[in-house]
């Protein structure tokens, strides 16, 4: 696959790893709803979400039940995932949501892909855009609030490499020098920023009005890695100014971004100020919550544990709460822990982890959220 979807990279949270331990005759706590506390997630707070993985199916099975159980054991009740081929069918989306709901989980975001002709302005782009519109309409009819997407001419995956962090845990490094001189790929070509802006403006002017009617918010993920040039192509979402320009193309809450505080720092930005800018305009439609250490903006950085990077994650969380953000927040890119590697977890990212890493990220993120809700 040329540009792997972010939804195909870390599907380990809901993936079937090991069978649940037998509980025997252990007494179960009374099945009752705990009293909601002011520091807990609620309808008007950010929702911690994980990749649905094996739980994202249209029909119940032992594997999907087990996957959903592992997610819920972390206290997570919201998930996201890949939406599959376009156009999406309403019946399939409804089955996905119903199956998850039967396991106590809410689907709040699907990644849409499969429109390269629209990205590159090639023959057939209008037909692809129509498939996107049909998919967005179907999402609206089943009550899916967010559809996420990418707009890469080429994703700079070649710059990633494994680094080792504390106690030799896996970190994900990026170094632009590893790919600086790589030539364009024949199936992609090389594209200027001007061309890419023209292409996405055409796309948004067709899709955003339909998303508004459907009650769906589009969330464009930034270019990550935000390399200056990716196999000869400029990246329009590789700068904060690019993010600002995007939301100006079509003025609508349905034309928003995935606010990634890790990418923000990779580009040399201040995540709190960026969150304030887009949050105050109601243009944050999804959040990725992670941390990095940057040696050179856009070109050299390391994705690290959520608790040890340059971002003040508590300050970011407080700003999200201050801006009354209430959609999903994904504590993504877990680090590679020995436990996950013993369990056979293999991330597509060098130095990326799995379920144990996600458990660590969720616990840290929930602590930040509960503290932010009480300050």
Report the run of H or E that residue 172 belongs to, with start and end. Answer: strand 170-175
| DSSP letters spanning 23-59 | -TTPPPPP--PPPPPTTS--TTS-EEEEE-GGG--SS
| Helices marked H in 74-124 | 90-102, 116-120
Q: How high is the pLDDT of residue 344?
A: 82
Burial letters 141-159, b for 16+ CB under 10 A, else e: ebebbbbbbbbbbbbbbbb
Token pair for residue 335?
A: 């680090």
Burial letters 333-356, b for 16+ CB under 10 A, else e: bbbbbeebbeeebebebbbbbbbb
Q: How high is the pLDDT of residue 41?
A: 85
The one-character DSSP state at 375 is -
User: Which of 2, 103, 112, 1 lies closest to 52 in space, CA to CA?
Assistant: 103
Report the run of H or E that residue 203 belongs to, with start and end. Answer: helix 193-214
**Measured on CA atoms in the order 272, 220, 331, 157, is the torsion positive or negative?**
negative
Q: How far apart are CA 325 and CA 331, in angstroms?
A: 15
Using alpha carbons, list the distances in angstroms from residue 207 to 200, 216, 317: 10, 11, 31
Helix axes 193-214, 240-249, angle to 10 degrees: 50
| DSSP letters spanning 215-236 | T-EEEEPPPSS--SEETTEE-T
Beta bridge partners of 82: 111
Q: How many CA atoms lie within 13 A of 326 on its CB side?
A: 7
Q: How many CA atoms lie within 13 A of 239 on its CB side?
A: 9
Q: How high is the pLDDT of residue 25?
A: 52
Q: How far apart are CA 306 and CA 292, in angstroms?
A: 8
Tens place of pLDDT per residue across the chain (375 aa)? 344 444 444 444 454 343 444 454 566 655 555 566 767 888 999 999 999 999 999 988 999 999 999 999 999 999 999 999 999 999 999 999 999 999 999 999 999 999 999 999 999 999 999 999 999 999 999 999 999 999 999 999 999 999 999 999 999 999 999 999 999 999 999 999 999 999 999 999 999 999 999 999 999 999 999 999 999 999 999 999 999 999 999 999 999 999 999 999 999 999 999 999 999 999 999 999 999 999 999 999 999 999 999 999 999 999 999 999 999 999 999 999 999 988 887 788 999 999 999 999 999 999 999 999 998
Q: How high is the pLDDT of residue 295?
A: 98
């Amino acid at each position: 696959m040329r540009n792997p979807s972010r939804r195909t990279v870390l599907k380990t949270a809901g993936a079937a790893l090991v069978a649940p331990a037998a509980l025997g005759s252990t007494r179960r706590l009374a099945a009752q709803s705990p009293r909601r506390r002011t520091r807990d997630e609620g309808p008007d707070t950010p929702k911690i979400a994980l990749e649905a993985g094996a739980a994202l199916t249209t029909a119940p099975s032992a594997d999907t039940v087990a996957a959903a159980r592992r997610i819920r054991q972390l206290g997570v009740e919201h998930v996201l995932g890949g939406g599959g081929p376009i156009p999406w069918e309403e019946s399939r989306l409804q089955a996905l949501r119903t199956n998850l709901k039967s396991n106590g989980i809410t689907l709040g975001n699907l990644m849409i892909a499969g429109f390269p002709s629209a990205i590159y302005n090639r023959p057939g782009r209008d037909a692809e855009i129509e498939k996107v519109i049909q998919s967005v309409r179907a999402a609206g009819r089943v009550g899916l609030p967010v559809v996420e997407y990418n707009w890469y001419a080429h994703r700079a995956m070649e710059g990633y490499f494994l680094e080792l962090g504390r106690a030799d845990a896996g970190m994900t490094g990026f170094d632009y020098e590893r790919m600086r001189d790589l030539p364009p790929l024949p199936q992609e070509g090389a594209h200027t920023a001007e061309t890419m802006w023209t292409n996405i403006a055409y796309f948004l002017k067709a899709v955003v009005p339909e998303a508004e009617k459907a009650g769906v918010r589009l969330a464009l993920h930034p270019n990550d890695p935000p390399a200056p040039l990716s196999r000869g192509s400029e990246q329009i979402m590789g700068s904060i100014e690019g993010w600002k320009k995007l939301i100006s193309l079509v003025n609508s809450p349905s034309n928003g971004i995935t606010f990634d505080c890790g990418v923000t720092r990779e580009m040399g930005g201040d995540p709190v100020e960026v969150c304030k800018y887009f949050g105050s305009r109601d243009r944050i439609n999804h959040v990725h919550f992670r941390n990095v250490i940057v040696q050179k903006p856009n070109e050299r950085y390391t994705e690290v544990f959520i608790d040890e990077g340059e971002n003040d994650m508590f300050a970011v969380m407080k700003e999200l709460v201050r801006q009354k953000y209430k959609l999903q927040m994904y504590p993504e890119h877990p680090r590679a822990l020995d436990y996950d590697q013993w369990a056979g977890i293999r991330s597509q990212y060098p130095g990326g982890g799995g379920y144990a890493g996600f458990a660590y990220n969720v616990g840290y993120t929930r602590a930040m959220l509960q503290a932010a809700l009480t300050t």
